[in-house]
Structures are given as structure tokens and as C-alpha cells.
Amino acid sequence: MKFINLHTHFYTNSDLILEIVNQYPNEFSEEIPLYSIGIHPWHIDDNRLSDDLKIVKEKLSLKECIALGECGLDKRIDKIYSTQIDVFEAQLDLLHQVSKPVILHCVASFDEVISCKKNSGLTSPFIIHGFSKNVQIAKQLLNQDFHLSFGKYLFRNPELGDVFKQIPNEKIFLETDTIVESLEEVYTFAAKCKNISVEEMKEIVWNNYQTVFNKKN
């Protein structure tokens, strides 16, 4: 049973890890065997938006692409927020043609992301990557059937361990994103928070991957 890395920007080709590598349409690498692809709100560019959406649509139809994302909303950047919503919703529309999970970037926009999910009418799983907030926000998202992926903020925010402990096992993923800590270190820390073994944590996340990404035999 492999470790699952829900979201990373670095392809390591490790035999021990199943990596979902984040790809951007304008920086796509054919060498990565398993990936997600999406238009990040930081990288919205009106000059290439139409082309980027076409690439995302094309890649979503391939078996190597197992999720849309990361995409989403961010109130702390200078991109026009209404444009971010338009681009996010345009990407969600693509999932009416091919059903795959969504890996989300969400900064100070949880209400809006929940609203977009509802308005989309999609039944695809939605996963907040890099979750770093409190129990109240976690419960708000869980009540709307979101999954939560944890990584660097487990190390950076001591209080987040208590939040992670309260998340139902069937709703969690783990990731490295861009941190220097290894995925094994993330799993070790997460297992300690739940007071279980690393092997038990591996099994939990593996089972969630099988379910959410429809990989069960």
C-alpha cells in the first residue's frame, strides 16, 4: 500500500508514493504520469484564458488526469474577484462532460466556494487542499460534503492538530504541496494527532483515494 500525496508541485517518481502532481495548462509536462490540472486564480491571464480552458478540457478527458485543480477563489490577491468566480465556474462546467474530483485553492472564500459547488449541480467530490482553518469552518465544509487535505499547516500551526483530530477519517487527505518536509513526515505527524500508527493512517488515506477517485476494483 502506497502513501497518497493528494497535492504536490514536485514529481519525485517514488515507488512508495502515489503522487497527484499539480499541472498548469501553460506549463504542462507529458512526463508526469498522474496529475490534476486547472487554472489557479493566481494565474488567470485574459490573454490566454480561452486557450487554457481548452487545454484543461482536453486533459480532463485523459485517464492520466484524475482531477480538476487546483482551481478556486482567493480574496487576498489582486485578481478581480468576479473574474475569479467566472473562471472557476467555467472550469466546473467542464465536469458535466467528465466526472472527476476537484482539488481546491480557497482563501477567505469558503462561503463562495460552497455556493459555486451548489450552483454547479455537480456530484463530483470537492477537496479543499492545504486546509488551515478552525473546527467551525471545517464543520461548515464537512456539512456540504467537502473533503479536507492537510499538509504544511499541521507543522506551522500547533492548533491545527486538534482540528485534524476531529475530522472524520473518511474525509481526510494528506499532501506536501511545496513544503520541504517529506510526505512520510506529514503522515507521521498526522498519525500522532489521531493517536494511530502510520500504517493505519496510510490505510485511511488509501481507502479515501480509492473511493473519491473511483479506483476500487
Instruction: List, as residue ranges, the binding site.
Output: 70, 105, 129, 177
Q: How far apart are CA 198 and CA 91, in angstroms?
A: 36
Instruction: List, as residue ranges, the binding site for a divalent metal cation.
Output: 70, 105, 129, 177
Identify whether the C-beta of residue 52 lies closer than 8 Å to the C-beta of residue 5: no
Q: For position 215, what pLDDT does the model report?
A: 79
Q: For position 217, what pLDDT does the model report?
A: 46
Nine cell digits for residue 36:
490534476
pTM, two decimals, is 0.96
Exposed, middle or buried: residue 78 (CB in 10 Å: 0-12, 13-18, 19+)?
Answer: exposed
Domains recognised in the chain with CATH numbers: 3-212 (3.20.20.140)
Q: Residues 6 or more apart from 179 whose CB is under 8 A from it?
A: 151, 152, 155, 186
All residue ranges of the chain with pLDDT < 50 are 217
